[in-house]
Amino acid sequence: MAEDEFDPRVYITNELTGERTPVRRGELTGVDEFLNAVEVNTEMPPETRFQAWQESDEEHPADGGRPAYRVVYKTLRTVPTNPAGVVSPNCRVMFANGRVTWGEPRFGRALPWRRPDRFLLPDWGRLFYDPLRYVREADNTVPIEAHQETSPPMNYVEVLYALNEDAAGGDHQSRLGAARAAVASLLASLDLSFGPRLLGVRITEEIGEVFDDWHWNRRLDGPTVALEAQAELRYVDGEGAAAQIAAIFDANSARSEEDRARLRIAAQWYWRADAETDPVQAFIAHWLTIEALEMTNANIAPVKSVVHQLLGSHQDTISVAVGRLYGLRSRLLHGKARSVSAEQLEVARAVALALLERRLLGILSAERLTALRDGVREANLPGFSASP
């Protein structure tokens, strides 16, 4: 077979032997489209996902089962006297001994980036000062691997949960969030009943599909990867940056201990929201940032007052916006709502970041002010408070 019939950019690797098999050009789709769509000089590196299936066969074809969730825990030297299982129409719990197969997408040299489901291929380089220039020491190739392996024999607990119709139609993160919420009380009940040795070490957590015989097909489409080299190169004045950092130190020293305590808690919730993959948990963390900064009890009047000061007008619309955010927070915390839309999350983020920037830096940037104004306007639209 002629060598040019294969695409040199792609190989299939045998996990057991390490042997690499080339892929015929006619059997490969998407690579050229991806490369042609790569943007450069972007504000932030754009993210892309890798999609594949594992464990599918002729009797269990990809996209042929019910969208589902799988989580497996290794017990801590807790041994079942015999395999035990409980099955309901949409959930199966197994306590057994055996080998567990799991898989995940891997992105070679990429590093974790701000959230556990995001990876970034770093742009390494050396900076020279006379004359000022930056010389890259990296390439833009992203080794992508559909990793799969089987563990040694172990005692384990496996939960398979079939998503309901409402949750099944979303993307990976929305399915994952819905599934985690659905099995949270089950896992808590197991933990409280048997102690921390039963759900000892989480081996894998996956989104995929199950069939009537509880066969599991794993879908690899969760984490994203981005190339840092796609972002535009920016130079920051070193002396100016040092002066700005020194001003941050000075501002913190001038605060009372009570103010420092508020800001510490608010900043921790800010970072929790930034790293959170579940929109519901991210929304709650954004609201707790707001609450830590401006509230001393359940009264949201101080939040309305501060937002009004920042925007300078529209007191009625501000009152509606803050009230709707607080109302959604209350419904989420008391189980009256189970999901958060992208628009609702973005409004909560806009308010939280504006108030945190004002408190920490003593200013409100044009970017934050615009986002806050847009957020107030969005929260006043009909249907904002409705469930997604």
Task: Say whether pLDDT at 382 is over 60.
Answer: yes
Phi, psi angle pair for 300, to nearest 5°:
-95, 5
pLDDT of residue 2: 54
As given in the structure block, the two tokens for residue 251 are: 């501002």
- The average confidence (pLDDT) of the chain is 91
Residue extents of the structural domains in the chain: 1-37, 51-230, 238-379
- Give the pLDDT band of residue 246 (cuts 50, 70, 90): very high
As given in the structure block, the two tokens for residue 324 are: 């709707």
Task: Say whether pLDDT at 187 is over 70.
Answer: yes
pLDDT of residue 318: 96
Percent of the chain as helix, strand, coil, to the nearest 5: 40, 25, 35
3-class state of residue 179 by DSSP: helix
Higher pLDDT, residue 5 or 292: 292
- Give the pLDDT band of residue 1 (cuts 50, 70, 90): very low
Surface-to-core class of residue 284, CB atoms within 10 Å of its CB (0-12 exposed, 13-18 middle, 19+ buried): buried
pLDDT of residue 43: 87
Residue with tokens 């390490």: 18
Q: Which of 121, 88, 102, 356 is CA-nearest to residue 204?
A: 102
pLDDT of residue 39: 67
Find all residues with CB under 8 Å of 149, minimum gap 6, and list them. 15, 101, 102, 103
As given in the structure block, the two tokens for residue 212 are: 């009537």
Task: Say whether pLDDT at 313 is over 80.
Answer: no
Task: Say whether pLDDT at 267 is over 80.
Answer: yes
DSSP secondary structure, 181-243, as one string: HHHHHHHHHHHHHH-TTTT-EEEEEEEEEE-TT--EEEEE---EEEEGGGBPP----HHHHHH
Tell me the per-residue pLDDT of 193-229, one tens digit each, with 9 for 90 and over: 999 999 999 999 999 999 999 999 999 988 999 999 9
Percent of the chain with pLDDT over 90: 77
Yes or no: say if 141 and 229 are a contact pair by the CB < 8 Å rule: no
| The Cα angle at residue 371 between residues 368 and 377, in degrees rounded to 5 | 145
State how far the Cα of 25 lies from the Cα of 21, in Å rounded to an integer.
13
Tell me the per-residue pLDDT of 8-36, one tens digit each, with 9 for 90 and over: 777 776 656 777 788 777 766 666 766 66
Tell me the per-residue pLDDT of 104-163, one tens digit each, with 9 for 90 and over: 999 989 999 999 999 999 999 999 999 999 999 877 778 888 999 999 999 999 999 999
